[in-house]
Amino acid sequence: MIVAITGVTGFIGRNLLCELIKRHSADLAQLQIFLFGRGQGEVSFRDRVLRTLLTEGAEYCDISPDSPMLKAFIDKGLHCIEFDLSKKGLGISREDLLTLRTVRFDFVFHSAASTDLRTSAAIQHQIEKTNIQGTELLLALVKELKVDEFCYVSTAYANGKTYGRIDPDYVNFEHEFRNPYEFAKLKAETVVEAACKAGGIRCRIFRPSSVCGRLMEKPLGAINKFDVFYGWGAFFLALKLKHLGGADKVFDVSVPFNARIFSHPRGGLNIVPVDYVVKAMYHICTEHVAGTRFHLVSPKESQHRFYLDRMIAALNITGIKHVDYVPTDKNDLENFYYRTVGKIFTPYVDGEPILFDTSNYDHVMKKAGIVCPPIDQKNFDLLMDFAKKQFFGMTAAA
């Protein structure tokens, strides 16, 4: 199998890399993976990949970092291509381009994206440049190569404020979108479809919901990007750190905050573990499941007032109250909340329940014996345990 992945230093991409290696651990010599990404400061792209693969990746794959088999794969089967979605020609070197033209790819997975959920004009410009124009540049490259299937990672929320049952092939630009990110993802879906149709390439569009840390593979709870509902927790942790004047025993001390947080009393957030997402991607592709779009989601929503309460309990904070409306007589903390993290988060907690239809691939997961872990109290607390160890991404605090 020969596979290409963009966004491998991101969340879904890195776990997809691990899943591919794990699935082919008995025949790694038959696996070739081309990774597209960027270096960071003085650290090369390849070094970034190896740093991940030899730590949390080795745990996921259940392979020793010193395994001769893994070392042989890294030397012969792992190819790192420096690229940039914002540059003409993607910034790929002539030498790398010549190499890519000699390969026939079974699958190209495009998971690189800007996931900023803010709504300013500057953010909208960056989102369009990366998620739409960057995808167009990648598709132009794919047109030059030999590719059997192109798989695009979108979002289950690509149709904006849509509620009730949602068919995986549902596309509607007329709904209200919560942010430029959602609109850009839906626009990019149509760009991908059109380009693949014109090029005679099999097209798949994966729509994961709110992706959380691992709940099937070690280390449990592992995540490298603390956004969406994690960002809500990070907001209150930052307030607590400021209140206490530092990180020493921050989770052992209870701190009260007087804040009324709005969420729909019947609504919830569909939270899905990242390792379930990449397993579904793998099986849908390798089993050649019919269809174009696939909702990679949990079977049911997690009620807002369930997971928010568990997060507040994990942070050892008191005084947060749920309300059925946005307060009009806000105190100072509430004003700060609703103009910062609440501005991003509230559009995801203000609506009726959503049921994402997964009937077009349920049979494949059942055949594989893969069940999506429930986001119950035990599993959510596991997610919080990992997030707390990482200070919800605020590494300076740790």
- pLDDT, tens digit (0-9, with 9 covering 90-100), for 256-280: 999 999 999 999 999 999 999 999 9
| Distance in angstroms (rounded) separating the CA atoms of residues 293 and 155 | 10
Cα-Cα-Cα-Cα torsion 184, 3, 18, 268, nearest 10 degrees, comes to: 30
pLDDT exceeds 80 at position 221: yes
Name 203's bridge partners: 150
Given 3-state DSSP classes, what are the helix, strand and coil percentages for the chain, each rounded to the nearest 5? Answer: 45, 20, 35
**Percentage of the chain with pLDDT > 70?**
99
| Distance in angstroms (rounded) separating the CA atoms of residues 71 and 73 | 5
**Percentage of the chain with pLDDT > 90?**
95
| Distance in angstroms (rounded) separating the CA atoms of residues 134 and 140 | 10
- pLDDT, tens digit (0-9, with 9 covering 90-100), for 328-362: 999 999 999 999 999 999 999 999 999 999 999 99
pLDDT exceeds 60 at position 220: yes
| Distance in angstroms (rounded) separating the CA atoms of residues 193 and 171 | 12
Q: What are phi and psi of 234, to 5 degrees?
A: -60, -35
pLDDT band at 46 (very low <50, low <70, confident <90, very high): very high
Query: pLDDT at position 173, please?
Result: 96
Strands (E), the chain: 2-6, 32-37, 78-82, 104-110, 146-153, 164-166, 202-208, 210-212, 255-262, 268-269, 271-273, 293-296, 302-303, 317-323, 354-356
Query: pLDDT at position 346, please?
Result: 96
Cβ–Cβ < 8 Å for 341, 230: no
pLDDT exceeds 90 at position 232: yes
294 residue type, one letter: F
Query: pLDDT at position 331, please?
Result: 98
pLDDT exceeds 60 at position 123: yes
**Mind giving me the DSSP string for 303-371?**
EHHHHHHHHHHHHTEEEEEEESS--SS--HHHHHHHHTHHHHHGGGTSS--EEE--TTTHHHHHHHT--
Mapped onto helix, strand or coil, the DSSP state of residue 87 is: coil
Contacts of 186 (CB under 8 A, 6+ apart): 154, 158, 159, 160, 171, 173, 177
Distance of CA 221 to the CA centre of its chain: 14
Average pLDDT, the chain: 96
Query: pLDDT at position 395, please?
Result: 66
Mapped onto helix, strand or coil, the DSSP state of residue 267 is: coil
**What is the mean predicted confidence (pLDDT) over 157-186?**
96
pLDDT exceeds 70 at position 156: yes
- pLDDT, tens digit (0-9, with 9 covering 90-100), for 136-155: 999 999 999 999 999 999 99
DSSP 43: B
Residue 97 corresponds to which tokens in the numbers above? 């381009």
**What is the mean predicted confidence (pLDDT) over 100-114?**
97
**What is the mean predicted confidence (pLDDT) over 227-250?**
94
Query: pLDDT at position 88, please?
Result: 85
pLDDT exceeds 50 at position 165: yes
Count CB-CB contacts under 10 A for residue 321. 9
pLDDT band at 398 (very low <50, low <70, confident <90, very high): very low
- pLDDT, tens digit (0-9, with 9 covering 90-100), for 49-102: 999 999 989 999 999 999 999 999 999 999 999 999 988 889 999 999 999 999
**What is the mean predicted confidence (pLDDT) over 3-31?**
95
pLDDT exceeds 90 at position 396: no
| Distance in angstroms (rounded) separating the CA atoms of residues 152 and 185 | 10
pLDDT exceeds 90 at position 285: yes
